[in-house]
Amino acid sequence: MGHQDPFRHVNNTQYLRFIESGLMAWLMAFGKVLGGEKRAKAMLAGQGVSLILKSANVNFRRPVTFPDTLLIGQRPTVSSSRTQFTLNAVLYSYSQQAIVADSVGVLVWYDYDSLRKCNPGEDTWRILKAASHDGQGGN
């Protein structure tokens, strides 16, 4: 038990795990854009300036049953805040050929060395803004 509910649907808590896995893949790809493999690994390890998840809201659209393969897409949306942005996620079912869930997460730029939120700098914001407009810079 745990992965499926009594109705043989994937348990709702699993969706957050899927979204988190997609977030890690997006963060790795975004880190590489910002500064290559070394920067990406540092961001995943919580070294220097990276991101921390502040909140997540998941909309469950359709039940998923085993077996299935889900594609997780992520796209940032920037606002006027210089310390946070939203990351929109979509979970697409290959079996159903449909979106089964979507999510909006709020990510905060966090300086793990000084243990506080921060502004990541103009270069990072420029790249993030470009990713939010053209869908590039991550998964």
Interior CA angle at 127 toward 100 and 132, to 5°? 30
Looking at residue 2, what is its pLDDT?
A: 59
Q: Please report, for the domain that includes residue 121, its CATH number.
A: 3.10.129.10
Q: Is residue 37 part of a domain?
A: yes
Q: What's the domain count of the chain? A: 1
Residue 26 belongs to domain spanning = 12-134
Looking at residue 137, what is its pLDDT?
A: 45
Task: Give the chain's residues under pLDDT 70.
Answer: 1-2, 134-139
The predicted-structure confidence for 128-138, as pLDDT tens digits, reads as follows: 999 887 544 44
Contacts of 101 (CB under 8 A, 6+ apart): 15, 58, 59, 60, 61, 62, 90, 91
Distance of CA 42 to CAs 4, 34, 48, 82, 95, Å? 34, 11, 7, 21, 36
